[in-house]
Structure 1
């Protein structure tokens, strides 16, 4: 009998968020444990605001394809809750219910998502709370969104059909370990530095992260026009380089582990990453 794989679920607000915040770490997990780890990449929103040139339906389809291509580089499964950008706060119940269905299907051992102290945009902060909320609800057998919605569907014209998530009463699920990425560019909305629980040395996978980000071709021109960022991939590399200097490596990604109840308190991600885990002041 083959050994059950460890399941890692990374949840981002938009296509390319997962790569930007966790891409090097996910690639590191595949580098270290290709046959032991299964990675799932899930975005809550569909990227509809990510273009000055394309209309919503077009950019939605484009970003779906880009995210699929990126996930394929590390043999990850990709999906989306298909909520429109900047409408997440309005659709938070729908997003949570879809997430509950995904969590019950995947049964992740650990989850990576945005920090609730993100200073970049509202969707990131709302996504953080929705993820922690959905994780809690998913473990409750009596939590059944179908009483409210009958059946939650995420409609995916880009696939030529729709995907339905049916909710049936299930046994209690154990809560996974929950991790938050570093707020970009390293401090919260009040410009307070966030001291991470640990950092991950991604020097050996920084090129894999770059390749994943490069798959999101539509975002280069958009970020240059809308955010005056002439090279967002270089921005990501410089950010990771600054983090690496904190622990004496070339490139690093930072994480905070949710240490409050009821989330699992085992250092699951740290255990998988081994010597790649670094702590400030220990080098």
Structure 2
């Protein structure tokens, strides 16, 4: 029988506004519908996600988009206000991250994988993993520790290509979460980030980022016989929780389907 943790608080710490909507929003929707408190946090403020606006202008726009996307599921948006392409595992960002974790007290944490296509993502991975391990230490932050806070379950989101950028090898998930019933709300959340259509079209050569998100989740779904799936790798290092909470909550572990 599944025993839920005392605190049911999910936090995403990802690099940029819209990362959560692309990578794990379907799972966040399932958690929210199950009564979990949801927090969506970014380290950077998105100030380089434009071809025509100033840094301050696009940062204001992207903060509003982050708040709007989170509001679709009643979540709270946070930003550590670092600049795009400047995310670093430094004393200052470590302090900001520890303070955020003390304020939220996450039970369940999502972040980027250790290897990803962009260094902002990899540095965010370090910040999230470090804070998850240490935020409960009494002297880690001047902010009070919320009752029931503990080392959270930690899951790494899928890279957008589902491959390791250094080797090209496919990433093998530990956990699949069926989000077929949540895809339309996930797309609604991502559509809140309207400023990124122009940016992705100019910089990445993409004009259909919602369709690209759908394709990725459909490809992962085809591996396990579902329409749309978000895939994760669970962190199993000492002293993190060792049983797969997402699999227990949502039946999210299957044998892969043979090609």
User: 1:267, CA displacement in angstroms?
Assistant: 2.4
Name the CA distance, whole Å, in 2 between partners of 1:111 and 1:169.
17
Contact 1:186–1:194 (CA under 8 A) maintained in structure 2:
yes
Q: Secondary structure at the match of 1:278?
A: coil
Who is 1:160 aligned against?
Answer: none
1:253 counterpart = 2:230:
yes
Of 22, 25, 40 in structure 2, the residue corresponding to residue 20 of structure 1 is 22
CA offsets, 1:238-260, max 9 Å, x none?
11110000000111110010011
> Which moved further from structure 2: 261-270 or 45-54?
261-270
Task: Choose from 135, 153, 171 the match for 1:177.
Answer: 153
* 1:172 CA drift (Å): 9.8
> What residue in structure 1 maps to residue 95 of structure 2?
97
RMSD: 2.1
Take 1:208 and 1:170, find their aligned partners in 2: how far apart are those partners?
31
Matched residue, 2:74: 75
Q: Which residue of 1 aligns with 2:139?
A: 142
Cα distance in 2, alignment partners of residues 43 and 183 from structure 1: 17
Residue aligning to 1:125: 122
Residue 204 (1) aligns with residue 204 (2): no
Deviation at 1:233, TM superposition (A): 1.1
CA–CA separation in structure 2 for the residues paired with 1:167 and 1:187: 38
Q: Secondary structure at the match of 2:50?
A: coil
Q: Tell me the alpha carbon deviations over residues 189-244 of structure 1, each in whole angstroms, 9 at most, x when there is no partner.
A: 12111110011111101111110110000000100001101211111111111000
How far did 1:92 drift?
A: 2.9
- Contact 1:47–1:59, Cα closer than 8 Å, also in 2: yes
Matched, 1:219 2:218: no
| Dislocated runs of 4+, deviation >4 Å | 168-173
Contact 1:47 1:84 (C-alpha < 8 Å) held by counterparts = yes
- Do 1:140 and 1:173's aligned partners in 2 also have CA atoms closer than 8 Å? no
Count of residues in correspondence between the two structures: 253
Q: Determine the structure 2 residue equivalent to 1:45.
A: 44
Structure 2 unaligned spans of 5+: none
CA distance in structure 1 between the aligned counterparts of 2:256 and 2:94, rounded to whole angstroms: 38
Q: 1:173 to 1:72 in 2, by over 3 A?
A: closer
Q: Distance in 1 between matches of 2:147 and 2:37?
A: 23
Q: Which moved more, 1:229-238 or 1:52-61?
A: 229-238
TM-score (norm 1): 0.84
Match of residue 206, structure 2, among 229, 250, 257: 229
* Local SS of the residue matching 1:18: helix
For 1:182-193, list aligned pairs within 5 A. 182-189=158-165, 190-193=167-170
